[in-house]
Amino acid sequence: MANFEEGLTTDLKTIQQRITSLRDEHNNCSNTIEANSEGVDSNEPSLSKEIQIQLNENMEKLLDNENDVSMLLMVAQLLHAADVQKAKSRDAEKLLIERNDWLVEELAETQSRLQESERINGQLEEEVKHLRFLDTTKTIRTDIQSSTLADETSRPLAIDTLQDLGFGPEDDENDINHSRNNHHALLKLSFTDLRDGQPNCVNNNPSPNRLVTLNTLVIQYMKDGRYDIAGPLGKQALEDLINVHGRNHPDVATMMNLLAMVYRDQQKYKEAAQYLEDALAIRESCFGENHQTTAANLNNLAIVLGKRGKFKEAEPLCRRALKIRETVLGEDHVEVARQLTNLGLLCLNMGKYEEVEACHKKALKIYEAKLGTDDPNTIKTKNNLASIFLKLGKYDEAESLYKQILTRAHETQFGTKHDSKPIWKIAEEREEKKQKGELDTSLVGPVSVPYLESEHILSALTKLSALYRKQGEFEAADYLENVAVRTKTPEEGSRVDSHFLTTSSNEDSRVRVANTGIRSKLLSALGFNI
């Protein structure tokens, strides 16, 4: 359309020029005829007069045509201006659409943050409820005669799991931290069956509330690292459960798993494995070989065997647990991703690097789809996958993953529109300037980078630094190491259990003292002198 308008304008200007030329020629002819007709009698008809008349008529027509062409040129210019304005309007509309898409993305991100805030708020509310519960238990008198807080007689024991445990040497490639927060369903204590400091029994069998209380105390002392108390309590609870339900009961298997955790945390893996094997036999008998609780037990046993270095024995158990979870939960479930991670760690210790890569890739795909790119599990799995890339010599793939982690963390902290660059880009620019002899060594770098306080993101930074050094990019490696040293990382002990609010040291001490007093009274009421 634009080419057509330009051609039309050019043609009109050409026609206008020709008309002007014809008009000039007519004027010349008319002047010549007038000059020749001087001295001739005006009353006598002559050929020159007729020609003059004809020229005048043609001149009038030429003038009319010239006016028409000028008018058409003006219309063409107006049309062109309208097209230009239309193009500008389209560009403005496109810009508005892009801005609208950006606003939609910002809204989605804001909604995601709101949902996360609501989730955290819900956790905090649960923690407040628990602390209020602890406060009410302070009113227990020496005879422990208090009002009933909850009817726990039909409530099952806490479900155990060792989902996030690792095994083998805890190096950079397979660092998996112990997770004790899976026992977040802390049971409220009930004292209605405790009278005069003696456990209430029916036909010499422990009451259900006594069993619930014992189970809760085992979990609490285990979380506090008091295995010297948690172990005997767990054994007593196991004996009571067997007396009440018989050996082949799900709650017996659950308590065996808890005892296995106690022994595992003390690195007594042989004893832990024995309890887990017994629990597995019970669960297979009660729930069948393809039940989710059976898969959890298989996973726990595989982990403990891995801790003992028996990777060949652990691998088939882990694969069986994976198959059960894929069948029961679906292949894209988060629990399947966790099982894939454990299987990958087993294969890593056995040197099966290609299988490790496949496991981490599948797990990463699930985490990204279900939890998003910013979830710690996703970042951790990317780190694991990058580590196995390094072992396989795939340095470009490993470097790409580390840069993805750092870039996403930077965008989350500062936004995609921010002028600042991800830390790895700054490091590479310094490397390039040093090679050109243009580096200003006085510019060391930032004191700290906020998003590096995450252990998984800081791990990606340090591993990328090591990769730079391995590839001979020493300035980039030194810069990243300098940033890592200057970044204040959270202390290992600063993690707060999901049942307790973050408090000052004095408040935390008061909570621990209160818990200790309550547990001592409960132990005395249950007939234990510890």
The pLDDT mean for the chain works out to 75
**What is the model's pLDDT at position 169?**
31
The better pLDDT of the pair 57, 457 is held by: 457
Each residue's pLDDT tens digit, 439-479 = 776 665 555 677 777 888 999 999 999 999 999 999 999 98
Whether 354 is covered by a domain: the verdict is yes
């945390």: which residue's tokens?
A: 265
In this prediction, residue 420 carries a pLDDT of 78
3-class DSSP assignment, residue 394 = coil
Is residue 437, in this structure, part of any structural domain at all? Answer: no
pLDDT of residue 148: 27
pLDDT of 515 reads: 55
Please tell me the predicted confidence (pLDDT) of residue 338.
95
How far is residue 115 from each of residues 144, 376, 387, measured CA to CA in Å?
42, 17, 32
**Domain count within the chain:** 1
> Token match 């009353």: residue?
43
Backbone φ and ψ of 206, nearest 5°? -65, 145
User: Which two tokens mark 418?
Assistant: 């921010």
pLDDT of residue 530: 52
| Residue 202 is assigned to a structural domain of this protein | no
pLDDT of 54: 73
Report yes or no: 262 and 227 within 8 Å, Cβ to Cβ: yes
pLDDT(370) > 80 = yes
pLDDT tens by residue, 285-313: 999 999 999 999 999 999 999 999 999 99
Q: How far apart are CA 365 and CA 337, in angstroms?
A: 9
Which two three-digit tokens encode residue 313?
A: 């024995």
More confident residue, 165 or 5: 5
CB 407 within 8 A of CB 399: no
Under the banding of pLDDT at 50, 70 and 90, the label for residue 71 is: confident
pLDDT attached to residue 154: 32
CA distances from 346 to 254, 292, 304 (A): 25, 21, 11
- Interatomic CA distance for residues 48 and 157, integer angstroms: 128
Residues 6+ apart with CB under 8 A from 150: 188, 190
Q: For a pLDDT cut of 70, what percent of the chain falls above it?
A: 68
Closest CA to 390 of 464, 480, 297, 490: 464
Residue 302 lies in a domain: yes
Sorted by sequence, the CB contacts under 8 Å of residue 411 that are 6+ apart come out as none
Residue type for position 480: L
pLDDT classification of 37: cutoffs 50, 70, 90 = low
Local confidence band at 8 (pLDDT 50, 70, 90 cut-offs): low
Range of the domain at 363: 208-416
Residue 199 has what DSSP assignment? E
Q: What percent of the chain has pLDDT over 90?
A: 34
Q: Within a domain: residue 90?
A: no
Find which of 46-55, 207-216, 391-400, 445-454 is predicted with most confidence, using mean pLDDT: 391-400
Which residue's structure tokens are 């970042």?
379
Tens of pLDDT, residues 144-170: 333 322 233 333 333 333 344 344 333
CA distance 131 to 125: 10
72-125 pLDDT, tens digit each: 778 878 887 888 888 889 889 989 998 898 999 999 999 999 999 998 998 888
What whole-number distance in Å separates Cα of residue 215 and Cα of residue 198? 18
- Residue ranges in 393-454 assigned as alpha helix (H): 395-414, 423-436
pLDDT band at residue 330 under the 50/70/90 scheme: very high
- In Å, what is the CA distance from 176 to each residue of 94, 169, 209, 281, 454? 48, 10, 36, 28, 15
Position 50 scores a pLDDT of 72
Examine residue 257 and state whether it is found in any structural domain, yes or no. yes
**DSSP letter string over 275-302?**
HHHHHHHHHHHHH-TTSHHHHHHHHHHH
Return d(Cα 356, Cα 353) in angstroms, integer. Answer: 5
pLDDT band at 496 (very low <50, low <70, confident <90, very high): very low
Whether residue 315 lies inside any domain: the answer is yes
Instruction: Say what the pTM is.
Output: 0.58
| Local confidence band at 5 (pLDDT 50, 70, 90 cut-offs) | low
Token representation of residue 14: 């050409």
Give the residue-averaged pLDDT of 381-385: 94
Residue 32 φ/ψ, nearest 5 degrees: -65, -45
Here the CATH number for the domain that contains residue 351 is: 1.25.40.10
Alpha helices by DSSP H, 438-493: 455-470, 474-486
Sign of CA dihedral 264, 269, 275, 279: positive
Residue 272, domain member (yes or no): yes
Is the pLDDT at 437 greater than 80? The verdict is: yes
Which whole number is the average pLDDT over 233-259?
89
Q: Which of 38-52, 95-109, 259-273 has the lowest mean pLDDT?
A: 38-52
Q: Hey, which residues does 205 pair with through a beta bridge?
A: 202
Residue that wins the pLDDT comparison between 528 and 279: 279
- How far apart are alpha carbons 431 and 308 in whole angstroms? 45
Which DSSP helix (H) or strand (E) runs through 306?
helix 292-307
Rounded to 10°, the helix 353-370/334-349 angle is: 160
